[in-house]
A and B are shown apart, each in its own frame.
Chain A
Amino acid sequence: MARNDRPLSPDLQIYRPQLTSVLSITHRLTGIALSIGSPLLVCWLIAAAAGPSAYATLHGFLASWLGLLLLLGWTFSLFFHLCNGIRHLFWDAGYGFDLQTIYASGWAVVAISIGLTLSAWIISFGMEG
């Protein structure tokens, strides 16, 4: 029987999600979200430069519930990608590979990125009011 006629054993469909793999895929997804979000930042700057009416239109969208939800997603993406990026820098330098450290730094990234996201939103709403 030819090798490739054999079935392939299951992988992603059955492998248990673990902190290691979940944070890795989240790092990728947040990276993708950030690259989609950066043109929006450019749009915001262009609208601000174009004048009050253009700015008001964009602001109207961003202040809607959908706009706020997207902004919340992007804020979390930014902080998560930043924190996990620092974790990767330590790994690149050869530090933090004990399983216990991998898990501790992983949970720290989750906690810190959620904390930073909430702080950023509380501060920005505080500045608005």
Chain B
Amino acid sequence: MIIKSSDQLPSVTLLKRFPVPRNFGVVPSSRIERGKTWPAPAGATRVKKFEIYRYDPDSGKNPCLDTFEIDLDICGPMVLDALIKIKNEIDSTLTFRRSCREGICGSCSMNIDGTNWLACTRFIRDTAQPTTIYPLNHLRVVKDLVPDLTHLYAQYALIEPWLKTTSPDPERERLQSPEDAEKVNGEDGKGPAACILCFSCTSGCPSHWWNGNRFLGPAVLLQAWRWLADSRDEATGERLDNLEDPFRLYRCHTILNCTRTCPKGLNPGKAIASIKKMIAERRS
């Protein structure tokens, strides 16, 4: 079927996961074991199962998959509501990041039913039975659904995400025409400046899984494009020099999982192609 926007869920799912062994390429300490089951309260009418990745650094044990059964009749509509309900009522040690609960802070990005999305903007009714929830992919896990984003923030710092100028400071703020502003904000408000740095795309990118040490990944490259596309920025050449590298930029193989998964409907894939094109045009 044709997917029109990233928030659209497939009507049929042929495969829930790639046909590889569960522990394919997984070191023993990262293997996921069977966890506890927390049955639904007696008298629950609409029971929904959540299988959630758990890891407690203090226990010395491997990560495991716990099953929580909750009554949807006394739960909010979003996956985040279910997580908060579990933390409040069933197991207070369940750990996850959340803040705005309206898809603007980017804290609660996680892998829900096999794809990355914000827990606060995914309806429970749109998830599978059971819903499976893992932390963002291929990251070191601090606890439960909280991955360590240190490396991703370091990669973000590498592109120097601020306005760089060499011309003398003007008397007032640096102006920009509406057309130039649109290149950053997008005509539909879905330009690179709308990125909330939830890293759903980067952690869903197979190229970043295998080469994440050196490949910057879609979220950071989208931000690199945000500054390249900004008419007020005067460091374009320097920025392109910084990106022109077999790994930093060119490990993008246009898989486009990034554009498929972006919870804000942005297009990191197109931004990366624009950077590649800009470098090619600079050479000619």
Q: A16-B17, A100-B2 are in contact. Are A21 and B255 (CB under 8 A)?
A: yes
Q: Is B141 in contact with A9, judged by CB distance below 8 angstroms?
A: yes
Q: B29, A7: Cβ atoms under 8 Å?
A: yes
Is A44 an interface position by the 8 A CB rule? Answer: no
What residues of chain A lie closer than 8 Å to B29, measured between beta carbons? Answer: 5, 7
The residue among B10, B256, B270 with the most chain A CB atoms within 10 A of its own CB is B256
Complexed CA–CA distance, A102 and B63 (Å):
36
B-contacting residues, A57-81, CB 8 Å: none
A20 touches B55 (CB 8 A): no
Q: Are A12 and B25 interface neighbours, CB within 8 A?
A: yes
Report whether A9 and B147 are in contact in the complex, using a CB–CB cutoff of 8 Å.
yes
Partner pick for A15 among B10, B14, B147, B204, CB 8 A cutoff: B204
Tell me, yes or no, whether B100 is within 8 Å of chain A by CB. Answer: no
Please give me the residue from chain A that is nearest to B14 by CB atom.
A17
A30 to chain B minimum Cβ distance, whole angstroms, is 14
Q: Cβ of A18 and Cβ of B17 under 8 Å apart?
A: no
Interface stretch, picked from B34-42, B73-81, B111-119, B241-249, is B111-119
A20 in contact with B139 given A13-B22, A94-B274 (CB within 8 Å): no
* A-chain residues with CB within 8 Å of residue B21 when the two chains form the complex: 13
B15 contacts chain A at the CB level, 8 A cutoff = yes
Question: Which residues on the B side are within 8 Å of A3 (C-beta)?
Answer: 140, 148, 150
Residue in contact with A12 in the complex, picked from B4, B20, B57, B148, CB distance below 8 Å = B20
Residue of B nearest to A24 (CB): B255
Task: Please give, as numbers and ranges, the residues of chain B lying within 8 Å of A14 by CB-CB distance.
Answer: 17, 111, 114, 132, 134, 137
- Chain A: which residue is nearest B259 at the CB level? A99
Asked if residues A7 and B209 are in contact (CB atoms below 8 Å), the reply is no
Contact flags B120-153 to A (C-beta < 8 A → 1, else 0): 0000000000001011111111100001101000
Instruction: Output the nearest chain B residue to A91 by Cβ-Cβ distance.
Output: B254
B175 part of interface (Cβ distance < 8 Å): no
Q: Mark B1-33, 1 if CB is under 8 A from A, else 0.
A: 111111000100111111011111111011010
Are B6 and A9 in contact, with the CB atoms below 8 A? no
Binding site for A on B (CB under 8 A): 1-6, 10, 13-18, 20-27, 29-30, 32, 53, 55, 57, 62-63, 111, 113-115, 132, 134-142, 147-148, 150, 203-204, 206, 209, 253-257, 259-260, 267, 269-270, 273-274, 276-277
Q: List 29 A-B contacts (CB under 8 A).
A: A3-B150, A6-B140, A7-B55, A7-B62, A8-B26, A8-B30, A8-B139, A9-B137, A10-B30, A11-B137, A11-B138, A11-B203, A12-B18, A13-B26, A15-B18, A15-B137, A15-B206, A16-B114, A18-B257, A18-B260, A20-B260, A24-B255, A92-B273, A94-B270, A94-B277, A99-B267, A100-B3, A100-B4, A103-B3
